[in-house]
Structure 1
Amino acid sequence: MSLWNDFNNADDQQSYDVIPKGTVARVRMTIKPGGLDDPSQGWTGGFATQSTMTGSVYLNCEFVVTEGPFAKRKIWSLIGLESPKGPEWANMGRSFIKGILNSSRGLHPGDQSPKAQQMRRISGFADLEGVEFVAKIDVDKDQNGELKNIIKSAVTPDQKGYAEAMSAAPVAPVPASYTAPATQATPTQEQPAVPSARPAWAQ
């Protein structure tokens, strides 16, 4: 019989635990284009996405762990660009991107030299496509109450775990009971991991 008639020799389903809260890991970021451009805002290349429900604008991002015991695991998050409810979500998004640039380009947050300031500038969101940086991973619950991972923040050169992660040394606080998956987890649906506790103004 064919593979799609007899499933006795198919692999058993894998169980994928969430990555432990507080894990520091090197990740690679990619952006799922949403097709929205606004050159006056610096949104070019079709990377931005606008919610049809709220009007909020964001980058729909995927982060893949590149090294260590959780290599190839994927985490989905949004980076806020604009919210009809006020500037706070955009300010958080700009702060996160600044952290990504500091982390990926080895810049101390306090470095205000002309060179550092230039390195915190991008020509467009295309410059963030494929960027690798050190992230701090957290755990939250999705809309169904299931545990999921979120990217909490970018780890900069002045913070604990940065040097180890950038040198590819494992820095994750892995519990003894955890068994790292042998293959990449496949999500049941391709949706960004949006923290359920996101404030009302970010909805």
Structure 2
Amino acid sequence: MTGAWNDYNDAESQNSFDLIPKGTIVPVRMTLKPGGYDDPSQGWTGGYATRNETTGSVYLNAEFVILEGAHARRKVWSLIGLLSLKGPEWGNMGRSFVRGILNSARGLSDKDNSPQAQAARRINGFADLDGIEFLAKIDVGKDANGDAKNEIRFAVTPDTKDWKAFQENGGIWRPAGGAPTASSASAAAAPASQPAANPGRPAWAQ
């Protein structure tokens, strides 16, 4: 029950979180905060994009929730660039990040150019990215006041040493619908009394 509005002695103490170390590999769920900006000519529909009225830049406002491990339930916020009036670099970086997210979420090597992989890298709209789960690398940037803050700007894909290290260090996440990883394969060898793994769901959700 919420305490009296004028007496805060029984309120819970604030939680103080240290920065997650740069380079930490974590499975995350990404959700998009709708900004209400659409540009059908670019394929930006559904109100997911946000436009900065001062600079004219357009981006996706993303929240990442860590799904497992020592930092489970922690949240990280980052922007995914779509358009900058200064040039194409920011938008290109955003496209590269989304490609990495799709590769990670769907268990694809970045070098896989098979028809199936190419189809898996296509989305019908930003709604397909809202709620997607993937393996991410934590970075440290600066907020508007110049203070350090955690960010996510890189998705870890199956063809990287970070992906292999995460699995070898006991991580249990795997891409939805993907082939079992080393850690999930060992889980499959567990006693038969445990429910069989559902390959369409990440291991933490079994």
Q: TM-score, normalised on structure 1?
A: 0.78
Q: What secondary structure sits across from 1:54 in the alignment?
A: coil
Give % identity: 64
* Bigger radius of gyration: 2
Structure number with greater CO (CA < 8 Å, separation at least 6) is 1
More divergent stretch after superposition (61-70 vs 154-163): 154-163
Q: How far apart, CA to CA, are the structure 1 residues paired with 2:96 and 2:107?
A: 16
**What's the counterpart of residue 83 of structure 2?**
82
The runs of 4+ residues in structure 1 deviating greater than 3 Å are 163-166
**CA RMSD after TM alignment:** 1.7
Q: How far apart, CA to CA, are the structure 1 residues paired with 2:7 and 2:85?
A: 53
Render the CA deviation track for 1:50-105: whole Å, top value 9, x for unaligned.
Answer: 11001011111111111111111111111111111111111111000000000000
* Superposition pairs of residues 43-62 of structure 1, within 5 angstroms: 43-62=44-63
More divergent stretch after superposition (125-134 vs 11-20): 11-20
**Does the 8 Å contact 2:48/2:60 carry over to 1?**
yes
- Higher normalized helix content (fraction of residues): 2
* Superposition pairs of residues 177-188 of structure 1, within 5 angstroms: none
Q: How far apart, CA to CA, are the structure 2 residues paired with 1:8 and 1:61?
A: 35
The reply on whether 1:167 has 2:172 as its aligned counterpart is yes
Q: How far apart, CA to CA, are the structure 1 residues paired with 2:10 and 2:107?
A: 48
**Does the 8 Å contact 1:68/1:168 carry over to 2?**
no
Q: How far apart, CA to CA, are the structure 1 residues paired with 2:146 and 2:85?
A: 27
Q: How far apart, CA to CA, are the structure 2 residues paired with 1:152 and 1:124?
A: 20
Which residues of structure 2 form unaligned runs of 5+? 175-206
Aligned-residue offset at 1:147: 1.9
Q: TM-score, normalised on structure 2?
A: 0.76
